Structure 1
Amino acid sequence: MSLSRSQVAAVLAAVTITILTAALLALSPSRAESAPVWAPADTAAIHPGTMMYTEGAQCTANFVYTDASSNVYVGYAAHCAGLGEATDTNGCQAESLPLGTPVTFNEGGSLVSEGTQVGTGTLVYSSWLKEKELGTTDANTCAYNDLALVKVSAADVSKVNPSIPFWGGPTGIDTDGTAAGDRVYTYGNSSLRAGIALLSPHTGVSLGDDAADGGWSHPLYTVSPGVPGDSGSAFVSADGKAIGVLSTLGLAPLPASNNIGDLGKELAFAQQHSGISGLQLVNGTEAFDPIL
């Protein structure tokens, strides 16, 4: 069967378009090619457990997150950017610093010095600010949703690794809560410990979830308890899955206990309301190892 001149021209045009499309795709970086390249875990300056300073207030980084555009975020507690008392827990009522507030990543901070700055970022999401904006009234959301995200400056992304020091992981997100006696693991880094890394890893046990809060919180004891400056710290389960973020120090009825907000719920709220497309937790590059 012979082709007319017009048919030959159409075929050649289609082939040309196909070749050009393939060439353009080859030149365009794929999501995998443009994804962040993590620093080695043993030399990364920014990671879960890094000290974070916001206008002089110190907290601890929890997990690393990315979005659909491969931007990199580090989480801490929303109350770390709060303007009220350290004991404020109701994000629907408390005042907070605005989005765009600079945040620094530091190491070696103490009561007399903020230590060495190792990177910079910008506050881009706060559950407390969003709750107020939305007019949230659910008591459990107001009391326990305590997550903020700091976007790491482009110049410092190469310093980031998502692994939790000492323990490794996270290996995903815990979705079934905790039962009394479940072992938990964390890495707090309060300036009250003078930047001594040996004092940062903790392990403890869950006190059992309270159904009354709808799964928003997990009370627990650790050895030693979290102290001011540990706020925002990551907590993981016995299989390395991210359970939650350190929010408060319990005074009653369980003195010296800690309370963590459920990360699954906090992240779902952020995914729905932050405006950050494709927001997700990043698993650690290092295997989780719960052996002390």
Structure 2
Amino acid sequence: MRFRFRGVALGIAVGVVALGAFAAPAATAAPAQPSVPAETTTNQAEWAPADTAAIHPGVVTETTGGGACTSNFVFTSGDRTFLGQAAHCAGTGEATETNGCDSGTGPVGTLVTIKAADGTDRTGTLAYSSWVTMQGNGESDPDTCAYNDFALVEIAPEDVADVNPSIPFFGGPVGIDTDGLVAGEPVYSYGNSPLRAGVKALSPKAGASAAEAGGGRSHEVYTITPGVPGDSGSAFVDGKGDAIGLLSTLNLAPLPVSNGVSDLAHDLQYANANGGLGDIQLVPGTQPFTPAPPGISATTLAGPAGPPVG
């Protein structure tokens, strides 16, 4: 069973998974990924400094009629700038509604509050939603319906000068991963659920890939603690700093207390083909990626090696 978990109570006790319960699975080949590589861009003349930027990956977004989520990456199309979030952040149905082709959702044009790092609220607009687009297109492919969970919030032109595309703590992204993950491959994420009450030390997470789903459209991963309500949409990158995707679901089966990560390469390919926004591109971070920031103990981010066994 899979659950979406934008910032609303699920009534599910997920607990903490002990590291001793993990064992490294044998590496397996990753499923085929999109044949056309997703591009990145640096066409914004100047970004705000990473250490003072008010808007960056990881800031909280609150979608009118939906819930609170964590933004993932920065994107551009022409002179327009966007924050990525999960499509289900605009969901109007139950947490168990995971099929984007028939789940309730707010429309494109819905107002989104960006909870900026400087304590201000900025107003963005839902400019693209995979759920809205799939429903409008009559999409019927079951894997696409189940795992395409991507949306773009357009940042107001007057706020673009306050944007930096770097992921806090880890830096990056460097580019987009287009060859999928093998079991046991390390992953890194930065969640910002309001349930953490602003405690930044709880936001960075490291973990490992456990399995692929939907022909490579989704990655099931384990982190030391699983994503919680409000982490939805969080950025995931691999050991090179390439963007893998965004946090989409909490899975209770077949891999209990794993998280489903919607694959960005597939999601972006669909958005570029169907979203009507032109050529959407990921913006690389201005800060270099590092899986072990200076001054951080290696044991602090020691990720599990795979799914629980026994």
Counterpart CA distance in 2 for 1:215 and 1:34 is 30
The worse-fitting range, judged by mean Cα deviation, of 222-231 and 47-56 is 47-56
Shift of 1:118: 3.7
Map of 2:71 onto structure 1: 61
CA 1:34–1:253 in structure 2 vs 1: closer, same or farther (change >3 Å)?
Answer: closer
CA apart distance, 1:131: 0.3
Partner AA of 2:205 in structure 1 = H
Counterpart for residue 100 of structure 1: 109
Q: Counterpart of 1:5?
A: none
Residue of structure 2 in register with 1:220 after alignment? 221
2:159 pairs, out of 151, 156, 159, with 156
Q: Deviations over 1:173-217 (max 9, x none)?
A: 00111111100000000011112111100000000324xx21100
The one-letter amino acid paired with 1:233 is S
How far apart are the structure 1 equivalents of 2:265 and 2:183?
Answer: 19
Aligned residues of 1:45 and 1:118 also touching (Cα < 8 A): no
Per-residue displacement from partner, 1:228-270 (whole Å, max 9, x unpaired)? 1000010000000000110000111222110001100000000
| Residue number in structure 2 paired with 1:4 | none
Look up the match of 1:239: 240
- Tell me the amino acid that sits aligned with residue 125 of structure 1: Y
Q: Is the 8 A contact 2:55 2:116 kept in 1?
A: no
Counterpart check, 1:46 vs 2:55: yes
Offset at residue 105 of structure 1 (A):
1.2
Report the TM-score, using the length of structure 1 for normalisation: 0.83
Q: What amino acid is the match of 1:229?
A: G
Residue 181 of structure 1 pairs with residue 184 of structure 2 = yes
State the SS of the aligned residue for 2:211.
Answer: coil
Q: Measure, in 1, the Cα distance between the counterparts of 2:122 and 2:48.
A: 13
* Shift of residue 36, structure 1, vs aligned partner: 4.5
Distance, in Å, in 1 between the alignment partners of 2:208 and 2:124 is 33
* Match in the other structure for 1:139: 142
Q: 1:71-93 CA distances to partner (integer Å, 9 max, x unpaired)?
A: 10001000000110122110000
Match of 1:194 in 2: 197
Query: Does the aligned pair in 2 maintain the 1:107–1:195 contact within 8 Å?
Result: no
Greater RCO between the two (CA within 8 Å, min separation 6)? 2
Asked if structure 2 preserves the Cα contact closer than 8 Å seen for 1:120 and 1:156, the reply is no
* Matches of 1:34 and 1:234, distance apart in 2: 21
CA distance in 2, matches of 1:36, 1:50: 22
Larger helix fraction of residues: 1
Q: CA offsets, 1:14-47, max 9 Å, x none?
A: xxxxxxxxxxxxxxxxxx9983421100011111
CA–CA distance in structure 1, aligned partners of residues 209 and 83 of structure 2: 25
- 4+ residue stretches of structure 1 with deviation over 6 A? none
Q: What are the equivalent positions in structure 2 for 1:19-30 lying under 5 Å apart?
A: none
Instruction: Look up the match of 1:286.
Output: 287
Could you tell me whether the CA contact under 8 Å between 1:100 and 1:124 is conserved in 2?
yes
Q: Which runs of 5+ in 2 are unaligned?
A: 1-40, 297-310
> Is this contact kept in 1: 2:42–2:284, CA < 8 A?
no
Matched residue, 2:170: 167
Whether the aligned pair in 2 keeps the contact of 1:128 and 1:146 (CA below 8 Å) is: yes
Instruction: Name the SS of the counterpart of 1:184 in structure 2.
Output: strand
CA distance in 1, matches of 2:121, 2:149: 25
Q: CA shift at 1:95, angstroms?
A: 1.5
> Is 1:248 aligned to residue 249 of structure 2?
yes
What TM-score, normalized by structure 2, do the two folds share?
0.78
Aligned CA RMSD, in angstroms, stands at: 1.7
SS in 2 for 1:284: coil
Q: After TM superposition, give the deviation of residue 120 of structure 1 in Å.
A: 1.8
Conservation of the 8 A alpha-carbon contact between 2:58 and 2:190: yes
What is the alpha-carbon distance in structure 2 between the residues aligned to residue 107 and residue 289 of structure 1? 24
1:117 CA displacement: 3.3
Counterpart AA for 2:223: T
Residue aligned with 2:255, SS: coil
* Structure 1: gaps (5+ residues): 1-31, 109-114
Measured in 1, the distance between the counterparts of 2:140 and 2:98 equals 14
Identity of aligned residues (%): 55
TM superposition shift of 1:172: 0.4
